[in-house]
Each structure stands twice: as structure tokens, then as C-alpha cells.
Amino acid sequence: MKKIVAFMTAMIILITTSIMLTGCGTQGKDVSNAGGSGAKGVKVIDIQLTQEEYAFGVDKSQPELLEEVNKFIAQIKADGTFDSILNNYFGDGTPVEIVSAPLDSSKDQLVVATNAGFEPFEYTAGDKYLGVDMEIAALLAKYLDKELVINNMDFDAVCLSVGQGKADIAMAGLTIKEDRKEYVTFSDKYYDAAQKLMVKASDTRFDNCKTAADVEGILSGFDSKVKIGVQNGTTGQFYVQGDPDWGFEGYKTQCVGYKSGSLAVQDMLNGNIDYVIIDEAPAKCIAEAINELN
């Protein structure tokens, strides 16, 4: 299943890239293909630029649900279930397809808000959902003796949906962040995450970097002609633009937002932007999917 989904993702990116006009986002600049040979594909610079924690965003009007969610997180971590789920996406396990029931106010349901374009935490294959968060959601619904409903939406609407009472919980690779607490109450953290830089395979500018400071030193030298793609509403966007809550100073580069990290990488391959900064796990999945075809 992992191979099939990865192949489909790569084919979509490759086909779209081939039929779109190549952009001129890097013309006149010396950042793209720096010292490179024109090799196809992408690579992830294996240096963590941030330290962050994922948690679930629970409806603030349901403190009893928050209590149960925290008990559930502790339980699946203690009994090995969480590690087994991670193995389905980071090891040799097999991802489990999750089915969403239709919303029905007459039933006792757990309504989950997500953004299913964030492999390996949430993504789709046909009308089925897969991913770390989606498997946890299915088990959580069973634990609560509720029927699972998954509501897929843009990432920057996920917390708002819960805050407006349209969903019970946000499960979307969600980083704990102060301003999101206006809409949700965060559960205990369940996963440590980080942002990483993605570049074209032929770009050697960052190859000798050893630390985050090395990468940041190069990024700080770029001006507004350089474009960095991010997924809208994510830590990557805050990192590039600057965010006082995080202590991110930001960069002089242009920050270009996309609905998903894969769309940002696609645009980088098209030559319309220069770099992409997204969460570490999705970055790895996207790179593997693309590079398998090159």
C-alpha cells in the first residue's frame, strides 16, 4: 500500500510538472541548481530547523473528551499500539485504511477535523483515509464507543472548525501553538516534529551544512528575489515569515503558501520557487515518492 500511494503521488506531481510551463522564478538568481549538474529529483537537507510537538486539538467545551483523549494517548503509548502505528509508516508495517461514516446528528459520533494532504499523518487513497493520525482516530472512536466521522478541509481551517463546534477534535499533525488555543484545548503531546528544508537534487548550496545555524546563515543571505514554499498555516510558514510566539525572526525571502507540501515541491520542480520548508516526515515521504521515478 505504501508503495502504491507513493507511486501515485509521484505520478501526479510528474504529470502535472510535464504539462505546465516552466516558471521563471529563478532566472537571474544564483540560488537554483547551485553548482549542480541538472539532476532531476529533490532532496531533504537532513538538519532540523525547529523543535516542535504535535498534539490533538479538542473542543474547549468538552473537558471530559480532553480527559479521555489524554488517557487514550497514555494507554496506546504504554501498550505498544502507538509504536505499531508508527511502524506502519516509518517501518515495515502495512498502513490501515480507515473509513469515515457520514455525518448523522442522530448517532453518537466522533467528528474529526483533518487536512488529508499531509502524508504520513493523514492522506487518502480513493475514499479511504490513511496515516498515523487517522489510525489513531479510528482507535480513539472505538475506545470512546463512537462512530468515526472524518471531515477533510484546508489545514488553516482545522482548529477553527473545532472552535465553531463543527468538529469534536482536530487531528492533523497539529503543532502546539499559543494562538491556536483560542479555538482548541491541546491534548498531551504525542509526537516530536521539526521543519526541514527541501531543495532540488542538483542544488549543492546546503550540502556542507552541519547545523541549523549553518542553514540559517545561508537563508539569511537571500533577498526577496528568492522564493520559499510552505504549507499554509503550518510552522514552516511561521518560520519563514517570522513569528514572535516561536521566536522566529523570519527571512527577507518571499514566502509562498500552498494547500499542501506536495504542491509546493511540484512548483519548485517547475522552477517557480527556489526552496520548500515543511514538516520532516511529509518532506521525507514526498522526496521518496518523487525520487523513486528518477
Based on the fold, state whether residues 57 and 179 are members of the same structural domain.
yes
Q: Considering the chain, what percentage of its residues have pLDDT values greater than 90?
A: 85
The tens digit of pLDDT for each residue in 161-170 reads 999 999 999 9
- The span from the CA of 56 to the CA of 190, in Å, is 8
Helices (H), 97-234: 132-143, 158-163, 212-220
- The span from the CA of 259 to the CA of 249, in Å, is 24
Give the chain's domain count: 2
Based on the fold, state whether residues 131 and 155 are members of the same structural domain.
yes
| Interval 266-292 mean pLDDT | 95
- Whether 148 maps to a domain, the answer reads yes
Split at pLDDT 50, 70, 90, the class of 138 is very high
The tens digit of pLDDT for each residue in 110-122 reads 999 999 999 999 9
Domain boundary among 192, 227, 250: 192
- Whether 227 maps to a domain, the answer reads yes
Based on the fold, state whether residues 280 and 201 are members of the same structural domain.
yes
Based on the fold, state whether residues 272 and 145 are members of the same structural domain.
no
- Whether 220 maps to a domain, the answer reads yes
- Whether 209 maps to a domain, the answer reads yes
- The span from the CA of 174 to the CA of 245, in Å, is 16
- The span from the CA of 237 to the CA of 259, in Å, is 12
CATH of the domain at 151: 3.40.190.10
Domain boundary among 192, 213, 246: 192
Structure confidence at residue 39 (pLDDT): 58
Is the full-model pTM beyond 0.75?
A: yes
Domain boundary among 174, 192, 210: 192
The total of other beta-carbon atoms located within 10 Å of residue 199's CB is: 23
- Whether 202 maps to a domain, the answer reads yes
- Grid coordinates representing 175 are 503543532
Based on the fold, state whether residues 201 and 229 are members of the same structural domain.
yes
Interhelix angle 63-78/81-90, rounded to 10 degrees, is: 70
Based on the fold, state whether residues 44 and 115 are members of the same structural domain.
no
- For residue 105, the enclosing domain spans 52-192
Based on the fold, state whether residues 142 and 201 are members of the same structural domain.
no
Average pLDDT, the chain: 89
Chain mean position to CA 235: 9
Nearest-CA neighbor of 124 among 152, 102, 145, 147? 152
The tens digit of pLDDT for each residue in 16-64 reads 333 332 222 332 333 333 333 345 899 999 999 999 999 999 999 999 9
Based on the fold, state whether residues 59 and 167 are members of the same structural domain.
yes
The total of other beta-carbon atoms located within 10 Å of residue 110's CB is: 23
Q: Considering the chain, what percentage of its residues have pLDDT values greater than 70?
A: 86
Helices (H), the chain: 2-19, 63-78, 81-90, 132-143, 158-163, 212-220, 235-241, 261-269, 280-291
Based on the fold, state whether residues 232 and 100 are members of the same structural domain.
no
User: In which element (H, E) is residue 152 found?
Assistant: strand 147-152
Residue 149, beta-bridge partner list = 111
Based on the fold, state whether residues 58 and 167 are members of the same structural domain.
yes
- Whether 15 maps to a domain, the answer reads no
Based on the fold, state whether residues 125 and 184 are members of the same structural domain.
yes
Based on the fold, state whether residues 41 and 163 are members of the same structural domain.
no
Residue 248 clears pLDDT 80, i.e. is over it: yes
Low-confidence winner among 17-26, 89-98, 204-213, 254-263 (lowest mean pLDDT): 17-26
Nearest-CA neighbor of 112 among 93, 140, 87? 140
Are 2 and 125 in contact by the 8 Å Cβ rule? The answer is no
Structure confidence at residue 6 (pLDDT): 47
Are 116 and 123 in contact by the 8 Å Cβ rule? The answer is yes
- Whether 2 maps to a domain, the answer reads no
- Whether 113 maps to a domain, the answer reads yes
Structure confidence at residue 144 (pLDDT): 98
Number of H helices, E strands in the chain: 9, 14
